[in-house]
Structure 1
Amino acid sequence: MKAVGIRGTSHYLPARWMTAAEIGAASGIPEAVVAEKFGIRGKHVAAPGEHVSDMAVTVGASALREAELDPSDIDAVVYFGSTWKDHPVWQAAPRIADRLGCTEAFALELDYVSCGTPVALRVARDLLVAEVELRRVLLVAACRESYLVDYEDPGSRFTYNFGDGAAAAVLERGLERNEVLGSHMLTDGSFSHHVKVPAGGSVEPASEDTVRARRHLLSVEDPANMKTRLDPVSVPNFLRAAEGACKRSGISLDEIDYLCGIHMKRSMHDEIVAALGISPDRASYLDDTGHMSGVDPMLALDRAVAAGEVREGDHVLALAAGTGYTWAATVVRWGERKA
């Protein structure tokens, strides 16, 4: 089977940085708690006229330059970012492909919210393996969910770390470096209604009343019940996803060298790192960006490679979970494939 490798990556962060002090002032939570318990020193916030498609085009163009490719070299443009985009009931991928000049590419949209990176890597790898006429896929994601946060709703406080940003990668069939290996996912749909924007869909169409009641911001249905049920299973399910991805990659869990995960509270991050048996300095922690829907692990990978933290031969684990609830993991072996 032909290898599928990552030819180039990139990330983008908006200029404005909202500090922990600002988050604390908006929510009424002490700055120290935001920084220490929430694990966030600050997060980036998109400009008022800066939308998901704008950030995706910016980062997509950067990834193409990094990969030393023309837009016409791309066979598919896959968007895997936030489901809250420029317009409702609208796909960003065709718009992104058009603006980038990817005239030979078809567009594909993946709606996997926060677990987007490992899922997108899996789908793109499988697509390139299955369809031999395809050579290269551009994966691109963006998030603007800082605008969905309701700081006046204590029940949705776990969303206070939601920020904005974008990341992208070019995958190529036959590339024997930075190889995308195995993936694994598991879902518990009993959590499917806990986190959502309540209004604007067919169940609760938009109206003057829904706008007045602030029903178009992210909300957590019964936060106490969600926490009671989610806390005992979250870390074990992260580990199950990781173990499954490693098994499908032909390695063991103790062969993971670097973790690119999603931003979460510091205590849970530390618990996962310890359970994986890796050193804390071999795991990204995005305390200067917060959580950006499906963007986090891809952005973390791009940063870690640029900083020299990911080394030749490292097994990198992209690990994430998305409300719904789905846990997902994909292993990437960085560097040249050994004979």
Structure 2
Amino acid sequence: MGIGIEATGVFFPPGIETAADLAVKTGIPEQVIIEKFGLVQKHVADESLHASDLAIAAGRQAIEGIDPLTIDVVIYFGSPHKDYYVWSSAPKIQHELGAKNAYAFEIMNVSSCFPIALKVAKDMIASDQSIQNILLVGGCKESQIVDYENPRSRFMFNFADGGTAALVTRDSSQSEILESAILTDGSFHDDVRTPAGGSKHFASHETVEKNLHYIDVKDPQSMKERLDPVSISNFDHVIRKALHKSGYTPQDIKLLLPLHTKRSMFKELLQSLELPEENAIYLNHHGHMSALDPCIGLHFAQEKGLLNSGDLTVAVSAGTGYTWAATVVKWKGEKR
């Protein structure tokens, strides 16, 4: 039947910050946040919920009605900002979900990781006959690392919290994962980072006092001058390449599942592919949640009945560093 996504799950913490709330925090007018940032509201987790908890809650939804003992592998693909520093959340997730027969590990490429995780899961199942089911899980609490008083981090004010999961199976009745394309331009490696906490600037009184534990852009103008000319073309490149490898063109896309960006970039990407806005999921009530956005978009598309048998979707994302990635998924829509 083909290796594909059999089920998805999402979870959002109950806390909500509206555009009006963010206007107070940032000094940016509410309408600018809504119209330019493309953000009406976003979910924000309190001190009781962390990336692993959000991933577990979404994972439970994705495997509802499925024996967790039939899961062979658990892969965490979410935010690197997790419960603890130098710590793998995958074993905790495996344990809490009762997937005792699965081994667990993490892959991390910040926001670009879901299309990559789909490729990894598909390739693992294709190459190892003993693997039937892989659960991809991700959590994000990146609202916590945004300093709203730092104008250099302005493009990250849409960072939000949530969890998502996708069950990838050898014989999926719901979908088939087709081909992927990935592009990395490492010249951007030094532009976006949390300055302190790693080995270069280990945590100290000084790093805390200087607010160095929040995500920051080293030189926003320099990054903009280098990134703007290539960003949309690189998105377009990986989408078209993944489609070509799968035997399709942009005209065949039923639904684009992108990461959440400012509205102007979202519209520019659609224009480059000649896609109408109704052929994409835009998370204006949820914001950007690291690598989770395309998986969440797919879940919402299923909930809203936007996909029929034979429809083609493309999960596409990009992560600082900078990597652009796309994976094509053909929908079957048969009932389990």
TM-score of the superposition, structure 2-length normalised? 0.97
What pairs up with 1:278-289 in 2 under 5 angstroms? Answer: 278-289=275-286
* Structure-1 separation of matches of 2:247 and 2:46: 44
* Structure-2 separation of matches of 1:247 and 1:132: 27
- Which residue of structure 1 aligns with residue 134 of structure 2? 137
- Which residue of structure 1 aligns with residue 296 of structure 2? 299
* Structure-2 separation of matches of 1:336 and 1:49: 36
Which segments of structure 1 move beyond 2 Å, counting only runs of 4 or more?
174-177
- Which residue of structure 2 aligns with residue 44 of structure 1? 43
Is 1:260–1:317's contact at 8 Å kept on the other side of the alignment? yes
The alignment partner of 1:158 has SS state of helix
What does the per-residue CA deviation read over 1:125-176, in whole Å, with 9 as the maximum and x for residues that have no partner? 1110011110000000010000000001001100100000111010111225
Matched, 1:91 2:49: no
Q: Which amino acid aligns with 1:116?
A: C
Is 1:196–1:218's contact at 8 Å kept on the other side of the alignment? yes
The alignment partner of 1:112 has SS state of coil
Matched, 1:19 2:8: no
The one of 143, 164, 172 equivalent to 1:175 is 172
**Structure 2 gap segments, 5+ residues each:** none
What does the per-residue CA deviation read over 1:172-228, in whole Å, with 9 as the maximum and x for residues that have no partner? 112254001000000000101111000010111100000000000000010000011
Q: How far 1:256 moved relative to its partner?
A: 1.2
What pairs up with 1:102-141 in 2 under 5 angstroms? Answer: 102-141=99-138
Q: Which amino acid aligns with 1:334?
A: W
- Which residue of structure 1 aligns with residue 187 of structure 2? 190
Is 1:4–1:176's contact at 8 Å kept on the other side of the alignment? no
Q: Which amino acid aligns with 1:225?
A: S
* Structure-2 separation of matches of 1:78 and 1:233: 31
Is 1:258–1:278's contact at 8 Å kept on the other side of the alignment? no
The alignment partner of 2:63 has SS state of helix
Q: How many residues align?
A: 334
What pairs up with 1:142-153 in 2 under 5 angstroms? Answer: 142-153=139-150
* Structure-2 separation of matches of 1:207 and 1:310: 51
* Structure-2 separation of matches of 1:161 and 1:44: 10
Is 2:6–2:173's contact at 8 Å kept on the other side of the alignment? no
The alignment partner of 2:327 has SS state of strand
What pairs up with 1:314-329 in 2 under 5 angstroms? Answer: 314-329=311-326
Is 1:161–1:290's contact at 8 Å kept on the other side of the alignment? yes
- Which residue of structure 2 aligns with residue 259 of structure 1? 256
What does the per-residue CA deviation read over 1:290-333, in whole Å, with 9 as the maximum and x for residues that have no partner? 10001100001000111011222110010100001000000000
- Which residue of structure 1 aligns with residue 152 of structure 2? 155
Q: Which amino acid aligns with 2:135?
A: L
* Structure-2 separation of matches of 1:12 and 1:273: 28
Deviates most, 304-313 or 128-137: 304-313
The one of 216, 231, 236 equivalent to 2:233 is 236
Is 1:305–1:311's contact at 8 Å kept on the other side of the alignment? no
* Structure-1 separation of matches of 2:129 and 2:273: 35
* Structure-1 separation of matches of 2:255 and 2:101: 35
**Structure 1 gap segments, 5+ residues each:** none
* Structure-2 separation of matches of 1:206 and 1:225: 27
Q: How far 1:336 moved relative to its partner?
A: 5.7
Is 1:82–1:142's contact at 8 Å kept on the other side of the alignment? yes
Q: How far 1:70 moved relative to its partner?
A: 1.1
What does the per-residue CA deviation read over 1:88-118, in whole Å, with 9 as the maximum and x for residues that have no partner? 0011111100111110000120111111211
* Structure-2 separation of matches of 1:62 and 1:103: 18
Is 1:117–1:298's contact at 8 Å kept on the other side of the alignment? yes
* Structure-2 separation of matches of 1:286 and 1:336: 23
The alignment partner of 2:78 has SS state of coil
Is 1:257–1:278's contact at 8 Å kept on the other side of the alignment? no
What does the per-residue CA deviation read over 1:15-62, in whole Å, with 9 as the maximum and x for residues that have no partner? 011000111110111111111111101110012110111111111011
Is 2:308–2:333's contact at 8 Å kept on the other side of the alignment? no
Q: How far 1:279 moved relative to its partner?
A: 1.8
Q: Which amino acid aligns with 1:9?
A: T
Instruction: Determine what percentage of the aligned residue pairs are the same residue.
Output: 45
What pairs up with 1:33-72 in 2 under 5 angstroms? Answer: 33-65=32-64, 68-72=65-69
* Structure-2 separation of matches of 1:176 and 1:100: 23
* Structure-2 separation of matches of 1:60 and 1:220: 32
* Structure-1 separation of matches of 2:192 and 2:294: 21
The alignment partner of 1:184 has SS state of strand
Deviates most, 272-281 or 194-203: 272-281
